[in-house]
Each structure stands twice: as C-alpha cells, then as structure tokens.
Amino acid sequence: MAAGQGFWGDDLEAPIRQVNGGRIDYLMLDYLAEVTMSIMRKQMSRDPRAGYARDFVPLMERVFPACVERGIRVVTNAGGVNPLECARAVADAGRRAGAGGRARIGVVTGDDLMERLDELLAAGHSLDHMETGRPLAEVRDRVRSANVYLGARPIVAALARRATVVVTGRSTDTALAYGPLAWEFGWARDAWDPLASGVVAGHVAECGAQASGGNCSAEWWSIPDLAAVGFPIIEANPDGSFVVTKHPGSGGMVNLRTVKEQILYELGDPSSYITPDVVADFTTIRLSEEGRDRVGVHGVRGRPPTPFLKVSVACSAGYRAVGTLVYAWPDAAAKARAAARILRERLDRLGLTYERVLVELVGWDATHGHLVGEPPPDLPEVQLRVGVRGRDRASVERFTREVAPLVLTGPPSVTGFAGGRPRVQEIVAYWPALIDRRAVEPGVAVEVVEV
C-alpha cells in the first residue's frame, strides 16, 4: 500500500511516483484536515458541484490506466462534503483516460450530519465540545458543517463491491489504510490486534513523506535527495505486522528515527489511540530495522472501540486579520515594538476593541517566544507581525487600514509593505464532539458509480 498525499495541497507528483516506481496494490490519499470540511462546504454553497478535493480528479485521469491494467485500487477521502459529485467527476476522468466500462467507483456517504443536526440535537445528542464541555446549542446558528468520522467498514463494503476507487467524505485518515487491509486479509470486526496494527500503518502513512525523511529533526542535513522524496510504502502481512519502506531509488530515507517521529506526530495518550473500529495501544509497538530503508512494525495490541464516534463541527467564530512590516538595522526590534505600541494606541483612540491582539517579531521571537530572551540591538532586520481577531467585522476591517500608515507616521527604516492591505478572514472554529454511534451508523451507505 502506497501513501500518495499527506494533505490537500501536498506534492502533486507524489502519487504518480508511487504508482510508477514499483509494484503496489493500493494507493491511499488523505486530503482532509480539521477545518477542510468547512472550506469545502463554503465552496459547495457557491457551486453545488464543488465541495471536494478537485486535485484528485486530474490525478485520477493520469493514474486510471495503471489502475485498470495493474489492478491498483485507490482509497481516498477526497470526497469532502460532496463525495457523490467527486465520484461523478472521477468517473468522467476515467472515461477520458480510456477506463470506460472497466472500473467502478465506490462512494461512502452518511458522514454529513448537517441536514440532521436539529433532529439530532432535539433527540438529546447535545454534541458537547470535547475540551470545554459546552453544548453545541450555544452556537447552533453559527454551525457551518458537521461531519462524523467514519471508519473502515464502509470502505471494506465498497471494496467488496469491486470498487477500483473508493471515495469517502469525512473518514478517519487511518481508515484509508486499515480499511483496505481489513478487506484484503478478511479481518473480522473483533480482530483487535491486526486492526490496531493497521491503525499504526495508517498513522505512519497518512502524512506522506513525514515518515520517509521529510520534516525530520534528526540530523536533517543527512537525509538524501528530498527533491525526489519517496513517500511511504506499507508492506502488510495478514497478521497485521508490516514493513515501512519506499520505492527503490527514491529520495529521503526510512529508518527508526523517521518512523518514530511520525508515530509521535499529533499523538495524545499513546495507550489509547481511539478510532471508530478499534482502540490501538501505541505503547505496544515494536520496531525493528530490517535493512536499508526498511522498518518492521509488529506486536501492536488493540481493544474494542468506544460506543461513540467523533464529530467534527465547524462554526463561524468572528474575523481575523494579520498585518506585517519589516524593520531594518539599527535597533530593528526596538523600532518594530515602538510601531506596535503606536498602532495599539491608534486603535484604542478609535475605540476599537478586539478579543485578541497578538504582536510577534518574526526573525526573533515569533516561534520560540521568551525562550530566546531579548533581541540584540544589532539584529539586522525583523518583521513586525500584528494579528487581531474579534466578532465585529468592521473593527477588523479598520485594523487592516491602520498598518500601512505606520510607514510614513512611525519609526524609520521600514519596508516590506508591498503586499498591500491585510485581508479580513472569517474564522471557522473547530468544535470536536462525540455522538452515540447508533445515531449515525444506520445512515452510512455505499453507492457504486460505473466508469
């Protein structure tokens, strides 16, 4: 199984390299992040045929011939909030690529709860925020999308119906990997250990090259040929154990360091990695180096899942804007801070208030904060970065007009304003919640679209 995309916007050529670089049976493509669904819903509100990862369609047009000739099957969450429309577009691409009559697309639906939201709330599913505990009713009128994370079962069902391409909406990233493994090896629903191992495979693969040398902090300079980085390949066994590798001749590297870093990425409690199908215990993972660019993974233990599924709700939460200016030597940081004080004083005099105003000096403290201490007077240059957010759009809008004037009305040796006025963005906040799976699972369906 080859991983071809780590997010929507990842290396467009990576899936092609995965298909052409060696033998594979499955290609998994992860396109969705926490707030991607709300972006897609906004796109669909403007165009009812949009709302999915459009990049996926031209990609499929390129790989369809290999899929039908070599039996490669593609599993992806590219469907976003409009998986059926995505499948139709992919079917068209398949016909253009000469796969007409030779392929089928399985479409998973039922993750989208937006239309059912009031019905669910009325039935007592309060969808409390998992961190703050607040009930969703408080922000009901600001909800922009609500999708439940689905697991492997609908993917297995689509593969059982001989789908060449499986398109889902909001499925978990890891299910794109362990779904095909569960189908291929016929894992039972209670095959906890193999399923948990498949979850680890998915977690390792879901971020693409982050497992094969990309963004690796261990002696990063020693990682070869990242320009042609090989995305991860999972060689899985029926018992769930697997080897992480990459195609021969590709760039990057796979070793204990690169794999461990990815295992720890965005991890919570390692003993309870919760998915819709199994709870995996990452403290049971055993790794072994099995030759160049090969890491073995075995021993993973799993236990039954919880009665809940996770819901990803996106709600509108006001507006934001970020403005920047660059100050040069001498006293670059002192000038930038003086400019920030002047800006705040002007905003105060205008009577503008915000939920939050953040001042950072990019080139000094923007990422490591107070850990770097006070800037030296000889700092060659620094970028002043000021962000505001608030509920009132007009106040944020006015802020965007107060940054550029600092060039003529503030401290000297300032530049870097050619990008123009900052843009006002709507904030779409992520609201994670849990729902009784029995309220959702009956609505999950698989449809087949013929190419």
Which residue lies nearer to other proteins by CB, 160 or 264? 264
Residue 310 binds other proteins (CB under 8 A)? no
With tokens 């979850």, the residue in question is 199
Span interacting with other proteins, options 151-159, 167-175, 197-205, 268-276, rule CB under 8 A: 268-276
For other proteins, the binding residues in 372-391 under the rule CB under 8 A are: 372-373, 385, 387-389
Query: Any contact of residue 215 with other proteins (CB under 8 A)?
Result: yes
Number of CB atoms found within 10 A of residue 44's CB: 18
Q: How far apart are CA 30 and CA 41, in angstroms?
A: 18
The DSSP result for 210-246, as a single string, is GGTTTT--SSGGG---GGGBPPPEEEE-TTS-EEEE-
Task: Enumerate residues 327-366 that contact other proteins by CB under 8 A.
Answer: 356, 358, 360, 362, 366
Residue 38 to residue 426: CA distance in whole angstroms = 11
Contact with other proteins (CB under 8 A) among 268, 291, 420, 442: 268
Nearer to other proteins (CB atom), residue 100 or residue 387:
387
How are beta strands 26-29 and 2-5 bridged, if at all?
A: parallel
Per CB under 8 A, the list member of 219, 227, 418, 442 interacting with other proteins is: 219
Applying CB under 8 A, what is the total number of residues that bind other proteins? 56
Listed ranges 151-159, 213-221, 233-241, 391-399: which one lies at the site for other proteins (CB under 8 A): 213-221
Q: Which residues contact 153 (CB under 8 A, 6 or more apart)?
A: 179, 189, 276, 277, 444
CB of 376 to other proteins, least distance (A): 9
In the numeric block, which tokens belong to residue 424? Answer: 């006002």
- CB 76 to other proteins: min, Å: 22
As a whole number of angstroms, the distance between CA 344 and CA 225 comes to: 47
Biggest CA–CA distance in the chain, Å, is 70
Q: Which SS3 state, helix, strand or coil, does residue 341 take? A: helix
CB of 274 to other proteins, least distance (A): 12
Burial class (CB in 10 A: 0-12, 13-18, 19+), 260: middle
> In terms of CB distance, is 115 or 131 closer to other proteins?
131
> Is residue 427 within the footprint of other proteins (CB under 8 A)?
yes
Does residue number 367 form part of the binding site for other proteins (CB under 8 A)? yes
Q: Should residue 203 be labelled a site residue for other proteins when binding is judged by CB under 8 A?
A: no
Nearer to other proteins, 97 or 127 (CB): 127
**Applying CB under 8 A, which part among 4-12, 101-109, 401-409, 421-429 lies near other proteins?**
421-429
Q: In this chain, which stretch among 52-60, 113-121, 269-277, 344-352 interacts with other proteins, using CB under 8 A?
A: 269-277
How many Cβ atoms sit within 10 Å of the Cβ of residue 229?
Answer: 21
Among the listed residues 48, 115, 141, 217, the single contact to other proteins using CB under 8 A: 217
395 burial (CB, 10 Å; 0-12 / 13-18 / 19+) is buried
Among residues 282, 278, 276, the alpha carbon closest in space to that of 300 is found at: 282
Kindly state whether residue 288 participates in binding other proteins, applying the rule CB under 8 A: no
Q: Applying CB under 8 A, which of residues 12, 123, 267, 448 lies at the interface with other proteins?
A: 267
Strand (E) or helix (H) holding 289? strand 286-289
Residue 103 binds to other proteins (criterion: CB under 8 A): no
Closest separation in Å from C-beta 157 to other proteins: 30
| Of positions 370, 418, 419, 442, contacts other proteins by CB under 8 A | 370
Return the number of other C-beta atoms located less than 10 Å from residue 47's C-beta: 10
Contact between 264 and other proteins by CB under 8 A: the answer reads yes
Stretch that binds other proteins, among 111-119, 150-158, 181-189, 276-284 (CB under 8 A): 276-284
- Name the strand (E) or helix (H) holding 206: none
Cα 297 to Cα 41: distance, rounded to the nearest angstrom: 38
DSSP 8-class letter at 350: T
User: Is residue 286 within the footprint of other proteins (CB under 8 A)?
Assistant: yes
- Chain residues that interact with other proteins, rule: CB under 8 A: 34-35, 130-131, 210, 215-221, 257, 260-271, 282-287, 317, 320, 322, 356, 358, 360, 362, 366-373, 385, 387-389, 425, 427-430, 432
